[in-house]
Chains A and B, each alone.
Chain A
C-alpha cells in the first residue's frame, strides 16, 4: 500500500503551492497594473462572482450536466455494442470502420448549426452534440481493446466450451475493459465540450449559454466563474469514471501500482 513518504507529500504539496503562488501573482499584478475588470478580473473578484451568481450558476450547471449525462449514456449504449459487433463481424470491420474514420474527420462542431435547423432549440441538438463528440474515442478504444485479445486465449476458450456468450463474458470483455475505460475517460472530456458547443449555438439555459451571456454583458468575472464551474464539472465527471474503473477493475489499479514500484514478486 501507499506510504505517506516525504516524496509523496512533496508530489501533492508542490503543485498546490505552485497554483496558489500563481493565483497570488495574478491578484497582485492585476491590482498593481490596474487592469480593467472587463479584461481580466482579479481572483478575488472572480470568487465574489462565484458567490454572487451561485444560484444561477448552479441551475445552469445542472442543465448542462443533464445534457452531458443523457448524451454520454447514448454514447455508451451505442459505442460498446458497436465495438462488439465490429469485433465479431469482419464485414462491419471492413465497411463501417472506414466510414466512421472518415466521418470523424468532419469538424463536428461545424454541424451544430445544422442541428438547430433540424431539431430546434430543445434538448435534442445538445444531447446529439454530446453524443457526436464523445462517440468516436469510445468506439475506437473499445474496438482496439476487443481486437487486442491474445488469440491463444481464444483457442483455449474454444477447447473448453462452445458457448460464445461465456467466452465473451469471461474472457473477451474483461480483456477489453482497460481500453474501454481509457475510451470512457477521453470521451467524457469531449462530452463536456459537446454540451457547451450545443448550448453556444442555440440555448436559453446551461453553462454554455451563460458563458455567451456573460460575454455579451461584459461580465468577465461571471465568465471566469462559468469557466471554473465548467472545469470543476469536467474534473468531477472524470473522477467519477476513475472511481468506477477502480470498482470494476480492482486488479488494474493493482497492476498500475506494480509497474510503478517496478516488477512482480520473485520466488
Chain B
C-alpha cells in the first residue's frame, strides 16, 4: 500500500457556527478526531448534524469557527490540494463526455499527467467500457455515480472525501456501486472520510465509524470495525456485521435519534 502518500487528518476541537441573515446556526459543537494515513473512516449521524460541514472544512473549502484541522500535519487554511471529492449528486458536467468528465481534474489542475492506461483501467474497473464518449445524461444513475467516483480517483488523491455518495441511488444500484467502491478503494488505498446516514453502509467499508449526535453535534462514539476485507460480497461475516449494526443503532437510541424518544422529530 502506498502508505507514504496517504495523508493523516486531524480535527482538534473543531466547531462550526454558520451565520446567515436568518440568524446563527450552531452546526458542529466540538469534534476531535484523528484519522491516520490510509484509514477509511465513516461518519454517521442524523441529517443536518454537520457531516457535510466537516468534510468541507477538512478540504479547506469553508473555515472552521473554532479549533484547528491538520491535513498531513499542516494546518488547513486554504483549499487542500490533491483531494478527491464525491458528492451525493454526481456533479458530472453535462457538456462533457464520460472520458472528458474523468479528465476534468487533470485539465483544471494542469500540473498532473495521467496515462491513458490509468484512465482505461478505471473505466474498465467500474464497467464503463464503451461509454467513454457518451454524455452523462445518456447514463443511468448508477453509471453516473461510478463516473463521479472515477473522476475523484483519477489523480490518485491523497485524501478521498465522500459525502453520501450512494445516497441518491436506488437500493439495488446502491449495492452494486458499493461493491465497485470497495474494489476501487482496495486497489489504491488512500485516506478516506465517508459520510453517510445509513448504518449498514457506514460499517461496510470502514476501519472506524464515527457516530455523531444531533446538531450542534459532538462525536458520541468511535467504533472500531474489525472485519476482514473484501467485505461487500463475502459470506460468513454477517453475524459479526450485525453486532456492529446493533451497537450503532443502540447508540442512536440512547441519544434519542432513533427509537421511541425520537417520535417528536
The residues of A with any CB-CB pair to B shorter than 8 Å are: 150, 152-153, 155-163, 166-167, 170-171, 174, 177, 249, 251-252, 254-255, 258, 264-267
Kindly list chain A residues whose C-beta atoms are within 8 Å of the C-beta of B139.
264-265, 267
Question: Could you tell me if B108 and A155 are in contact, using CB atoms closer than 8 angstroms?
Answer: no
Roughly how many angstroms separate A266 CA and B169 CA in the complex, as a whole number?
A: 13
Interface centre among A162, A171, A264 (most CB of B within 10 A): A264
Interface of B is mostly: loop
Kindly list chain A residues whose C-beta atoms are within 8 Å of the C-beta of B85.
155-156, 159
* B237 touches A (CB below 8 Å): no
* B79 touches A (CB below 8 Å): yes
- Residue interface bits B17-41, CB-to-A below 8 A is 1, else 0: 0000000000000000000000000
Interface of A is mostly: helix
> Which one, B91, B137, B142, contacts A258 given CB within 8 A?
B137
A-B contact pairs, 26 of them (CB 8 A): A150-B89, A150-B91, A156-B87, A157-B108, A158-B61, A159-B79, A159-B85, A160-B104, A166-B110, A170-B107, A170-B108, A174-B93, A249-B95, A251-B94, A251-B95, A251-B137, A254-B135, A255-B137, A258-B137, A264-B137, A264-B139, A265-B138, A265-B139, A265-B140, A267-B139, A267-B143
Roughly how many angstroms separate A177 CA and B93 CA in the complex, as a whole number?
A: 13
Known contacts A159-B61, A170-B104, A251-B137, then 10 further A-B pairs from the complex at CB < 8 Å, ordered by chain A residue: A152-B87, A153-B93, A159-B80, A160-B105, A166-B107, A171-B93, A174-B95, A177-B95, A251-B135, A266-B140
Kindly list chain B residues whose C-beta atoms are within 8 Å of the C-beta of A160.
104-105, 108-109
Please give the distance in Å from A234's CB to the nearest CB on chain B: 29
Roughly how many angstroms separate A161 CA and B61 CA in the complex, as a whole number?
A: 12
Please give the distance in Å from B87's CB to the nearest CB on chain A: 5
